[in-house]
Structure 1
Amino acid sequence: MGTRDQDLQSSRVVILGGGPGGYESALVARRLGADVTVVERLGLGGSAVLTDVVPSKTLIATAEWMTIADRAPDLGIHLDAPVPAHPRIDRTRAIRESEQHRVDLGEVNVRVKALAAAQSADVHARLEREGIRMVIGSGRLEGPRRVVATQPDGREHAFDADVVLVSTGAVPRVLPGGEPDGERILTWTQLYELTSLPERLIVVGSGVTGAEFAGAYLALGSEVVLVSSRDRVLPGEDADAADVIEEVFRGQGMTLMARSRAQSATRTADGVVVTLTDGRTVEGSHVLMAVGSVPSTSGIGLVEAGVRLSTSGHVEVDKVSRTSVRGVYAAGDCTGVLPLASVAAMQGRIAMSHALGDSVMPLSLRTVAANIFTEPEIATVGYSEAQLTAAGSRYVTSTLALAQNPRAKMLGMRHGFVKLFAHPAGQVLGGVVVAPNASELIFPITLAVSHRLTADEVASSFTVYPSVSGSIAEVARMLHQRQDD
């Protein structure tokens, strides 16, 4: 036993990338007694904290307030009341209440970047408290047991390792002919440099990133055109959920161009022109290219070290995050398993537990909860209806519109639903929630899927009345099947 503990304490772990997969794995490795070094190019937290998840969701949270304000008249609240002349009325308060809400994008983006920097600093401080060595710079493998870090000033540091974790993430894919310039033609990492709201934003790509930003800028006040190469928005999501988002987008004035593939984007004197493959053109003030991402795996010595990559450039891993080379693990978007920060973190934790001899459960995607931060949000967990149908699985389903929920009515929520899938014998297989704050509401369904609860067990649990979460129990009750003798 003593020999094993000594071996763990002498293990040298080097991690390429300080995002969720990197810093979470670093914390696990340190707790298990390893000497840990993290090499990160952007700053602790990686792109997830500095240019992707944290800033995008902060921007979207700001847009959400605009959506709530737009619902105010439905609740009897009017923002355009005249300033009363009565001397006993507080004139300052009345003026504030009479102002129309507006957005200063420059101020919004200052706050967005400040919050991202603060979160990065928090991650850095936590790793520092744990005694983890951190190097800001670019890392590369020189064989499977040696990592070289190049700092911004050109200095190099070499680290020998017993275990290497690659968690280098991904970067926005660039469309040939639509190369970003950071001013008018933008990737999602460049949006936070804008100081004024785009008058007419063209969003190319209707996946999760495209839909989220299209909805956010629409709520903030931009005119938005969403160019989709597919039949509908969010083609990979639950069809009923995608239909709700399309209905909301169109109702708010967004222009949706389905089955329209972008060929190029070019600058004009005061804006941009997007040319489609069928020859049509779309003019706007700015264009966001949301056409996917590519893994950050080239030029860092992976192939030379023997690490096998897929045809798309992703690192191939198994369910405990091992690569094709002994002692080299990988986690996060560079693996292409599932582009979620929560999955990256879990992959990293599993990798270190496996590498350092701790107990470990292989990665299971069946219980991963995911959320799309449109308005309303779309949260999912477990098997989707498309997966169940494709597999020929037996299942029953029930759906309840959000508009039938009393709490939702009180809050002026009109769009959305709760849907459950269950085996005919009762076990909950998956679920979809479309609602404001669906990311919070999905958790009870996640528990049901994770612990293999039946619909009756969910239905028999008390819920607060009135509450939006009450719809989850109600949908479960709709799945009850009488057991006759």
Structure 2
Amino acid sequence: MSPQSASPIAQRQRVAVLGGGPGGYEAALVAAQLGADVTVVERQGLGGSTVLTDVVPSKTLIATAETMTTVGGATELGVRFPGGPTRDTEPAGAVSVDLARVHQRVKSLALSQSADVRARLEKEGVRILRGDGRLDGPNALLVTDGPDAGERAEADVVLVSTGSSPRTLPDAQPDGERILTWKQVYDIEELPEHLIVVGSGVTGAEFASAYDALGAHVTLVSSRDRVLPGEDADAAEVLEEVFRRRGMDVVSRTRAQKVERHGDTVTVTLSDGRTLEGSHCLVAVGAIPNTAGIGLEEAGVWTSESGHVDVDKVSRTSARGVYAAGDCTGVFPLASVAAMQGRIAMWHALGDTVAPLKLRSVSANVFTSPEIATVGWTQKQIDSGEAQGEIVKLPLSTNARAKMLGIHDGFVKLFCRSGSGTVIGGVVVAPRASELIFPLTLAVDKRLNVDDVAHAFTVYPSLTGSLAEAARQLHVTGE
């Protein structure tokens, strides 16, 4: 951007960003657009963990698993493969995966995406410092280690976006070979013979689903009575049923107390006294914010007991001029939310037009097979009386396009405000639910009425037709 085209709003303002993930680099781009002098400090590579070790790699792995799932169901559609399954042969072994090659592609794609982020920032004139950083008071960042150690960035505005790291268990320490966190799975070259996944939240369920589809035998350990305890109950029930039908072992209502390695095997000791034997163990029991030792307390930035940075709806912290975004805030651990927090922080700090963060219109997706996408109010909130709403749920098994595609599992669920018919939320359980949720996200964000959704044309046949049909069933007659 040329100096002539830069906005006068933030001329001569200095912005320093600690962390180059979505919250950090999106904030840097907005600040540069508004004419600020911007510096980003990042220790591992632009894009941060989201691009290099978390979201981009995991969803790339899941894309391969999705292809395996599609191929596995192709015989129902009349597709046959040379040397593959027929009516008279078992499908097992017909299609296999080269995990080393998959992981090579995963890492290559992540590095490519990181390079794209760097190129964009450099194009906008953002100064990039490499290494670990910390706040040096509320108005500066100091690079403490790495290639640019000793460099200091003075700032009128500081944004902290340091992300989070996998939480581990005292008696289940990862070794990067047999006992793994989700950041380490991309270093194994052979498909696990028996993968034990500890933790049935989003991360655990996604990796369990992916490795099951890739051909590994998977055991999923859940401390609750069902998988995905934080998601829509009907959606979680469908997913667990699919998991069990495909041969996954789901062990519920127990916790992993200890994980030990014995050569090429691992032993997981459960809280109820049982033990599980496998070839590998993935520990997916949550994340902790990367906020220790980065100068927050000295700068006057308050954190919660969990270590998350306290922020308001425009990303301000307790210290004047210091903002925070992303997983380190604990607001909503999604890359899309981190990016919006970062943008909002800069719009607010640099005097541009800004609206507070609206979590009610955030859409989220669990990348299992099938996927689970949600937006807005939940059925649990409606059932408890926290929200006044009407609910319609339609199975995909009656949708013509779903039948053509061989889709048997899944549904669409739509929520509207009682009386007015305003769309307040929804759930989609289906292949590519992450794409199908967008019309409902628009409806929630723009406060559309169910009739607005019902009267819009949908392609026939299409899965989105079920969204319109659900809206038609919620039609408010005015009686």
TM-score after normalising by structure 2? 0.95
The match for 2:211 is 217
Aligned Cα root-mean-square deviation (Å)? 1.6
Moved beyond 4 Å, runs of 4+: 4-7, 80-83
1:120 aligns with 2:105: no
1:434 aligned onto 2:436: no
- Name 1:76's counterpart in structure 2: 78
For 1:61-460, what aligned pairs fall within 5 Å after superposition? 61-79=63-81, 100-153=94-147, 155-424=149-418, 425-460=420-455
Distance in 2 separating the partners of 1:81 and 1:285: 29
Q: Deviations over 1:365-416 (max 9, x none)?
A: 0100100000000000111111233343321110110111101100101100
Deviation at 1:156, TM superposition (A): 1.3
Give the paired residue count: 467
31, 34, 42: which one aligns with 1:32: 34
Partner of 1:218, secondary structure, is: helix
Q: Does the Cα contact within 8 Å between 2:83 and 2:94 map onto a contact in 1?
A: no
* Contact persistence 1:323–1:329 (CA under 8 A): yes
Hey, what's the Cα distance between the residues in 2 that align with 1:448 and 1:317? Answer: 28
Pair 1:321–1:154, CA change in 2 (3 A): closer
What SS does the corresponding residue of 1:10 show, helix, strand or coil?
coil
> Identity over aligned residues, as a percent?
64
Q: Residue type of the partner of 1:473?
A: A
CA separation of 1:464/1:5 partners in 2, compared to 1, >3 Å: closer, same or farther? closer
The 10-residue stretch of structure 1 (134-143 or 215-224) with the greater mean CA deviation from structure 2: 134-143
Deviates more, 1:307-316 or 1:447-456: 447-456
Q: Residue type of the partner of 2:430?
A: A
8 Å Cα contact 1:80/1:100 also seen in 2 = no
1:200 and 1:80 mapped to 2: Cα distance? 28
- TM-score (structure 1 length as normaliser): 0.94
Q: 1:452 corresponds to which letter in structure 2?
A: R
Q: 1:37 and 1:303 mapped to 2: Cα distance? A: 22
Q: Residues of 2 paired with 1:222 and 1:430: CA distance? A: 36
Provide, for residues 98-156 of structure 1, a one-character-per-residue CA deviation record: whole Å limited to 9, x for no partner. Answer: x9321000000000000000000000000010000011111101110121013424731
Aligned 8 A contact 2:311 2:324 in 1: yes
AA in 1 matched with 2:67:
W
Contact 1:378 1:432 in 2 (8 A): yes
Specify the code of the residue in structure 2 equivalent to 1:470.
Answer: G
Superposed displacement of residue 344, structure 1:
0.1
Structure 1 gaps, min length 5: 84-98
Contact conserved, 2:178 with 2:264, CA < 8 A, in 1? no
Q: Tell me which amino acid in the other structure corresponds to 2:213.
A: A
